[in-house]
Amino acid sequence: LAVSVDARDGYVATDGWIETSNVEASQFAKQLEAASVKTVVYTDISKDGMLEGPNFEALSDLNEQTELQVIASGGVSSLSDIQRLSELKLYGVIIGKALYEDRVNLSDIMKEPKTC
């Protein structure tokens, strides 16, 4: 089971990203962890589909503040983004638009020992 944590400006986004709650994404993640969730998919919705790089700071903070297995989602634009996420020791990464637009090649990603 993986729970998605969608965030806008550090706060949980709801209702199909239309609303922004007053709950900090990091606090929500800690509540999930207390409820025995092991894995979260963290998406900074301002980055999703923009191909401008993930929110490295928020992902790093979440990874350091919890024992959750954090999967990065949103904004990945290049192999260097993936390598940088790998350096954060995240559990995984979701790559979408960058693959569709041939900005990254799955074969190249799989050749990188540090990213797999």
Amino acid in the structure at residue 38? K
**Dmax of the chain from CA atoms?**
42
pLDDT in tens, the chain (116 residues): 999 999 999 999 998 778 789 999 999 999 999 999 999 999 999 877 667 789 999 999 999 999 999 999 999 999 999 999 999 999 999 998 899 999 998 888 888 766 54
- All structural domains of the chain with their residue ranges: 34-51+71-104
pTM of the model: 0.89
The residue whose two tokens read 């634009």 is 77
Give the C-alpha separation, 44 to 114, whole Å: 24
